[in-house]
Structure 1
Amino acid sequence: MTEKPSAKIDKGTIGFDWEVDQDPQAVWAALSTDEIASRWLSCKATIDAVPGGRVRFGWGDEETTEGVVTAVETGRILEYTWEQPGEDTSRVRWEIQPADGGGTRLLLTHTDLTRPQDKVKELAAGWHDFLDALVAELNGTSHTSRHDELLERYAKS
C-alpha cells in the first residue's frame, strides 16, 4: 500500500486530503450507507444522510459517538456533529471531488476540537487508520489496523 499523507493538525482542526482510486459515487456510498460504513469503521453505523438526520457509531457498550447531519450535498458533502460522552462536541466534514486523471479526491476535516493537543493527535491517528480501512473497503481488500503505529507516529509530530 502506498502511504497516504498524514493529517494536518492546527488549532483544534484535523484535516486529511487524500486521493483514492475509486469513483466519487463509490466513495459517497461508503460514507453514507450504514452497511458499508459499518464495515470500514468496524462498528454499528447508522447514517441518515439528510439535513437534521442522525448519525450514530457504536463500538460496543464502551464507546458511542452520535451527531446530527448539518450539511448534505448528495455525492459531494456530508457533514455532521461528533458528540462523544465526556469530550467536546465537534464537527466532521467529508468532501468528495473528482480527482485530476480519475479517481476521487477525499477531504476529511474534523473541526471545533477543544480537547488537549495530545488527544487531538490521538483522534488524528484514529481517523488515519479509519481512512486506511475505507480505502481497503473501496478496493475490496482487507485492512490490518495500524492504530498503535499511527498513535506513536502522531504523538511524535
Structure 2
Amino acid sequence: MPLLSSEMSESVLTLTWAVEAPAEAVWERLTTPSLLPQWLGELVEGEVTGGSPFVVDHGGGYRCASTVTAYDPGRLLAYTWEFPDEPRTEVSWTLSHDESVTTVRLAHDGLGDLAASYRDGWTTHLMFLEASALGDSLPTAMFWQIHATIARLNARGE
C-alpha cells in the first residue's frame, strides 16, 4: 500500500499517498463524472469544477452534498462535505508530481470524533483511486470488505 503518512489532530485527518501515475490521471479521477464511481460514488447532481455544487451518491441513496471552494486544475481541489446525518466539513486534495509518482495529500477538516472512521474510509477510497488511475479499477463490490480489513488493522495500531 503506498500510504506515505496518516495523521489525525483534533479536527483534521491528513493522508498522503503515492500513485505511480501522472497527476493528470489522478486529477481526472477527482473531477470527471464517469470516473468518480470507480473510487468514490456516482455523481448525481452538478459537476466538480470551480465554485460548483455537486452531489455524490455513495450507494443506496446515501448522498453527500458538496460545493467546490478551491479549484486549481491538476494541483488543488477543495470542497465542502455534508452528509445528512453529519456536520459540514471540508475536504481538500493537493497533488504534486515528481518523475513518475504523483503525491496525493488528502486533508479532511472538521471531523472531530469521526476522524478514525473517516481514516478507514478515506484509506479505502485512496486504494480505489490509485487502482483507477493505474487503469485497473477495483470492483466496487469489494469496497466494504477492504474497508473492514483496514479498520481492523488500524484498530490494532491504536
Same fold by TM-score, threshold 0.5 exceeded? yes
Q: 1:59 corresponds to which residue?
A: 58
* Percent sequence identity over aligned pairs: 26
Q: 1:123 corresponds to which residue?
A: 118
- Aligned residue for 2:30, secondary structure, equals helix
Q: 1:97 corresponds to which residue?
A: 96
- The 3 A distance-change label for structure 1 pair 38 and 142 is closer
Contact 2:5 2:17 in 1 (8 A): no
Deviations 1:42-64 (A, max 9, x none): x2125623332012110234411
- Aligned residue for 1:134, secondary structure, equals helix
- Letter of the 2:127 partner, please give it: D
Contact 2:93 2:106 in 1 (8 A): yes
Deviations 1:93-147 (A, max 9, x none): 0011112x32211111001223x2xx32111100000000011111122424310
Q: 2:152 corresponds to which residue?
A: 152
Structure 2 CA distance for aligned equivalents of residues 34 and 54 of structure 1:
13
Q: Which of 131, 136, 151 is matched with 1:141 structurally?
A: 136
> Which portions of structure 1, spanning 4 or more consecutive aligned residues, are displaced by more than 4 angstroms?
none
Structure 2 CA distance for aligned equivalents of residues 37 and 54 of structure 1:
15
Q: 2:81 corresponds to which residue?
A: 82
Structure 2 CA distance for aligned equivalents of residues 126 and 60 of structure 1:
14
TM, length-normalised to structure 2:
0.86
| Mapping 1:42-57, distance limit 5 Å | 43-45=41-43, 48-57=47-56
Structure 1 residue 89, shift from structure 2 partner = 0.6
- Aligned residue for 1:85, secondary structure, equals coil
TM, length-normalised to structure 1:
0.86
Contact 1:33 1:47 in 2 (8 A): no
Q: 1:106 corresponds to which residue?
A: 104
Structure 1 residue runs without a partner (length 5+): none
* RMSD (Å) for aligned C-alpha atoms: 1.8
Contact 2:53 2:67 in 1 (8 A): yes
Structure 1 residue 4, shift from structure 2 partner = 2.3
